Amino acid sequence: MGGPMPENSLAGLRESMLKADGIEFDLRMTLDGHIVLHHDRIPMIPKHEKEGRPKYVESWTLDELRAFGAETFDEMLADPVISTAWREQAKVGVIEIKRPHPRFHGRARWWDDRRDIAHMGELSQKIEAMLDEADIPAQNTVLYAFHPRMANIVDWSEWKRPWSRLTPNLPPFGNSALQRSIASASFLASSFARLVRTHKGAGSPMMPCAMDYLHGLRRHIPIGRHVGLTGKGRKHLNAVREGYPVYVWPAPYALETALIDTGLTSVSDSVGDPSPRHVDGRLRWKRMATAPLDGPMPHVASDDEAEGLLTELDASVAPWHELDTTEHRRHLEAWRKRWGWSRSVDELLDDVHEGGTTMPWEAVRMVGHRGTGKTPRPVLYRTDAQT
């Protein structure tokens, strides 16, 4: 379910920073070198507005996109709610940098992934400089992309913060059906266990994982032993990852409790969903990491009872950044025992900076996908009086 606020909007990102444990969002670089919040390759504006204009976002200037309400990474970092939560309250920011369409580079071979390295490397350099200027902790940030040469992009840009890579390999062209068809070979060859080994070997602090690996019939496609969110599948999943952090996308409302019970972070399209209970009747507390409760979520008999309890908890639960080291240790010990984390509590505490401004990557979170969730197209509309 999508949230009521446009995806990748400051309003949606602000809402998830307040109501969840962090945000995931998409960045592209304009023709004149600015960084905009935007997912699709083609500007997400009404169809009739596209006539006579450049086809791809990277061929537009910032002013041209602003005419349709596009917002920038600069504005995001200047927003006091977003920046304070990201910098001081242990909220996580998951940044996806987007590949331009091959035609943006000219008529050379579409399959030459090396052509993206300089463009995405420059984008990464600019992002890191802005994060440094805003004093956003490295521990609260991860950069990733659907790109087989992500390591080359990181090397080119001299990126110093955590990074990861999205799989399977999706091409930067075609509709979703064509992309899934092309990516099927990568999906088939990449078992969950192989993905874990690859990400650990690259030094990534977490592994982004498509829900297709964990739920539904498609989870049986990859070669190797299958994993899942229940029964033997869940047991094998946790034996393979040994507490290694996994961020699952897209995480639908109906599977939130299964992900929590498995110890996985949800990259959710449902942060904006007002449901106060999970599908099994448990309380739906969306700040499970950054405003931790004692023990698992309680079961409640009705939505009215859940809404009342959520109001009480909002007023009484101390957030992570207000807890002292003793309380941090207590929660980490409980989480480590519940989800089978492999690192010691002392090692986990090393990732908690003074004042509780950060937390270990193992923490099980709810993260808002593109803010409060993916929304229908068009997303952007002309802001002036022209038609």
Query: Residue 108: pLDDT above 90?
Result: no
Q: Can you give the pLDDT at residue 3?
A: 44
In a domain? residue 79: yes
Q: How far is CA 348 from the centre of its chain?
A: 21
pLDDT tens track for 36-95: 999 999 999 999 999 999 999 999 999 999 999 999 999 999 999 999 999 999 999 999
Q: Can you give the pLDDT at residue 385?
A: 57
pLDDT tens track for 123-166: 999 999 999 999 999 999 999 999 999 999 999 999 999 999 99
Dihedral sign (CA 43, 210, 180, 190): positive
Going by pLDDT thresholds of 50, 70 and 90, the confidence category of residue 384 is confident
In a domain? residue 206: yes
| Domain carrying residue 331 | 10-369
Q: Can you give the pLDDT at residue 387?
A: 45
Going by pLDDT thresholds of 50, 70 and 90, the confidence category of residue 105 is confident
In a domain? residue 1: no
Query: Residue 349: pLDDT above 60?
Result: yes
Instruction: For residue 369, give both structure tokens.
Output: 């996908």
In a domain? residue 337: yes
Q: How far is CA 87 from the centre of its chain?
A: 17
Across 250-265, b (16+ Cβ under 10 Å) vs e yields bbbbebbbbbbbbbbb
Kindly give, in sequence order, each residue whose CB lies less than 8 Å from that of residue 271, ignoring residues fewer than 6 positions away.
3, 15, 16, 19, 20, 286, 366, 368, 369, 371, 372, 373
DSSP state of 111: T
- Phi/psi for 246 (5° steps) reads -130, 130
Dihedral sign (CA 43, 22, 303, 260): positive
- What are the DSSP calls for 198-263, one per residue? HHHHHT-SSEEEEGGGTSSGGGG-SSS----SSHHHHHHHHHHHTT--EEEEEE-GGGHHHHHHHT
Query: Residue 2: pLDDT above 80?
Result: no
Q: Can you give the pLDDT at residue 106?
A: 76
Q: Can you give the pLDDT at residue 170?
A: 86
In a domain? residue 375: no
Going by pLDDT thresholds of 50, 70 and 90, the confidence category of residue 183 is confident
Q: What is the CA radius of gyration of the chain?
A: 21
**SS3 state at 72:** strand
Write the CATH number for 180. 3.20.20.190
| 144 touches 166 (CB < 8 A) | yes
Average pLDDT on 233-239 reads 97
In a domain? residue 382: no
pLDDT tens track for 321-346: 999 999 999 999 999 999 999 999 99
> What Å distances lie between residue 74 and 44, 63, 118, 126, 369, CA to CA?
20, 14, 21, 11, 20
pLDDT tens track for 61-75: 999 999 999 999 999
In a domain? residue 387: no
Average pLDDT on 100-105 reads 89
Average pLDDT on 8-24 reads 98
Q: How far is CA 335 from the centre of its chain?
A: 21
**DSSP H or E segment with residue 26:** strand 22-29
Going by pLDDT thresholds of 50, 70 and 90, the confidence category of residue 382 is very high
Q: Can you give the pLDDT at residue 111?
A: 77
Kindly give, in sequence order, each residue whose CB lies less than 8 Å from that of residue 155, ignoring residues fewer than 6 positions away.
none
| 242 touches 342 (CB < 8 A) | yes
Percentage of the chain lying above the pLDDT 70 cut? 98
Kindly give, in sequence order, each residue whose CB lies less than 8 Å from that of residue 88, ignoring residues fewer than 6 positions away.
321, 355, 357
> How much is the mean pLDDT over the chain?
95
Q: Can you give the pLDDT at residue 110?
A: 73
List the one residue out of 45, 182, 172 whose CA is nearest residue 97. 172
Number of domains in the chain: 1
> What Å distances lie between residue 211 and 167, 179, 264, CA to CA?
11, 16, 11
In a domain? residue 105: yes
Least confident of 235-244, 261-270, 336-345, 378-387: 378-387
Average pLDDT on 244-270 reads 97
